[in-house]
Structure 1
Amino acid sequence: MFYDAIRNDHGMEVDPFKAIVAPRPIGWVSTLSRDGIANLAPFSFFNAVADDPHYVVLGIGAGKDTLRNARETGEFAVNLATYALREQMNASSANAAPHVDEFELAHLAKAPCRMIRSPRVGESPACLECRVHKIEDLPDDEGRMHYGLIIGRVIGIHIDDRFIANGRVNTAAMQPIARMGYSEYATVTEAWRMRRPN
C-alpha cells in the first residue's frame, strides 16, 4: 500500500501514521502557569535529540496549557512515565480546564525541582528539568498554527537511586511505557546490548 500523506487518503478508519512511528517515548510534562497553577500532561510526540549538551523536543497541539505555560514561563519538566504509573499518566491526559491541577486530578505528589519553578512527579523514577530554547510554530495546510514544537535544554536531571547499579541506570527496571498507534502502549521490561563496529 502507498498513500499520499498530504491528502491523507489511506482509506483506513484511523490514520496509521502513529502506528508506524512507534514506539514513541512519552514526555509526561509538568509546568507551572504564570498564576502558579501546576499542569501535568503526557505527550507522545517527544524525544531526546542531542546529548552534548542535552536537548529534548516536544510536539504539542495548539491551545494546550502545557504549550502556553512553556511560552510564558520558559521552562518545563519531563517526568518518566512508567508501567506502575500508567493509570495516573492516563488520568493526567484528561481535557481539564486551565485552572485544574492535574497532579491533584491524578492523585500524584508534587516534588520540587532544583533549577526551575515547575514541580515534578514525586512518584516518577526520573525527571528532566528543562529551559525552553525555542518554540517553533508548525502550520497546517491553510497556514494556521496547528502544533508547537518546543526545543528544551535539559539543565537538571533527577534519578531515583534505586535504579542505579554499577554506575549505570537500569532503564528496564523502571519499566518505562511508550505509545504505539491507536490506544496501544508498550512497556520496556528487558534490555539487550549490541556494540557498534569500530
Structure 2
Amino acid sequence: MSETTPRDPARTEFSAADLGDAETALLLKSVLIPRPIAWVGTVADDGAANLAPHSFFTMVSGAPPIVMFSSTGRKDTLRNVEATGQFTVSLVDRALAEACNTTSAPVGPEVDEFVLAGLEKEASAVVAPPRVAASPAVLECTLERVVPVGDGHCVLGRVVHVAVREDTLVTDARGRTLPDPARLDPVARLGRDEWGTLGDVFAQGRPRA
C-alpha cells in the first residue's frame, strides 16, 4: 500500500465553486496541455467552405475508429457538420501555425477561411469538405453523433479515410509504415495565447503481464 507523503513542494488549492466556470476553464486550459488541434474543414449546404481550429480534440474509439472534437457554442463548423454529416481534420504543423491561428478569427459564415488565411484547398478522397493541401496528414470523417455537454457540443466522427504525406512516413523494424513524429512536426495549444511544438520524444515499451 502506498504511503501518504507531505505536500512538497507546496500547492495552491483552487476551488471550482469559488473561481466560477470561466476562471476554472482558463485554469484547466493551462493545466491540460498540450492539446492537439483539430483543424476542421466543412462545407455549408450552399457549398461554401469553412475551416476552423478546435483544441478540444482526441481519439475516443479504435474499433470503429472514432475521433471527437468539441465546439463551444453553435458555430459554423457545428452547423455545417450537422447539415452535411461530413468533415475533415487537417493536422497543423509548425509551418501552418500562423495560418491556423488566422482561421480562428470571428468572421461570418460567408467568409471562406481558406481564402482568408491564404491556404490552398485539396479535394478529399471520400467526403465533400476539402482538405488543407499543405497539411502533413488529414482525416476524412463522417458524423456519428453530436452530444451536447454544458456549453459545448461533442462532435463524434468516424474516420473513413486517412491521407498522410509520403515524406513523413517511416517503416519500423516490425514492418509497419507509420508517420514519424518529428517529420509531422505538429503544434499544440497550451494556455493563454501559448502554442507548443513536439519537443523531446522518448519511447517506453508497455509492461507485460
TM-score (norm 1): 0.91
2:157 to 132, 146, 152: 152
Amino acid at match of 1:171: P
Counterpart residue number, 1:137: 148
- 1:78 partner SS: strand
Q: 1:39: which partner in 2? A: 50
| Residue 161 (1) aligns with residue 166 (2) | yes
The 3-state SS of whatever aligns with 2:67 is strand
Correspondence 1:21-170 to 2 at 5 A: 21-139=32-150, 146-166=151-171, 167-170=177-180
Whole-angstrom CA distance in 1 between matches of 2:205 and 2:199: 20
SS of 1:50's equivalent?
Answer: strand
15, 20, 29: which is aligned to 1:18? Answer: 29
User: How far apart, CA to CA, are the structure 1 residues paired with 2:52 and 2:117?
Assistant: 10
Shift of 1:7: 4.6
Report the residue type matching 1:40 in the other structure. L
Deviation at 1:109, TM superposition (A): 0.6
Aligned-pair distance for 1:133?
Answer: 0.4
1:188: how far off?
1.1
Greater fraction of residues in helix: 2
Q: Aligned-residue CA RMSD in angstroms?
A: 1.9
The match for 1:142 is: none
Q: Is the contact made by 1:172 and 1:190 (CA closer than 8 Å) also made in structure 2?
A: no
Alpha-carbon offset, residue 14 of structure 1:
8.4
Q: Distance in 2 between matches of 1:50 and 1:118?
A: 23
Q: Once structures 1 and 2 are overlaid, which stretch shifts more, 14-23 or 68-77? A: 14-23
Gaps in structure 2 of 5+ consecutive residues = 1-11, 172-176
- TM-score computed with the length of structure 2 as normaliser: 0.86
Q: Post-superposition shift, 1:9?
A: 4.6
Question: For the structure 1 residues 29 and 67, does the alpha-carbon distance in structure 2 shift closer, same or farther, using more than 3 Å as the test?
Answer: same
Question: Does the aligned pair in 2 maintain the 1:133–1:151 contact within 8 Å?
Answer: yes
- Does 2:7 correspond to 1:2? no
Q: How many residues align?
A: 192
Shift of 1:114: 1.1
**Within 1, Cα distance between the matches of 2:60 and 2:170?**
25
Q: Deviation per CA, 1:54-92: give whole Å up to 9, x if none.
A: 111111022310011011111110000110101110111
What's 1:187 paired with? 197
Give % identity: 36
Q: Distance in 1 between matches of 2:134 and 2:126?
A: 19
For the 8 Å contact 2:16–2:24, the answer to whether it is kept is no
| Per-residue deviation, 1:169 | 1.2
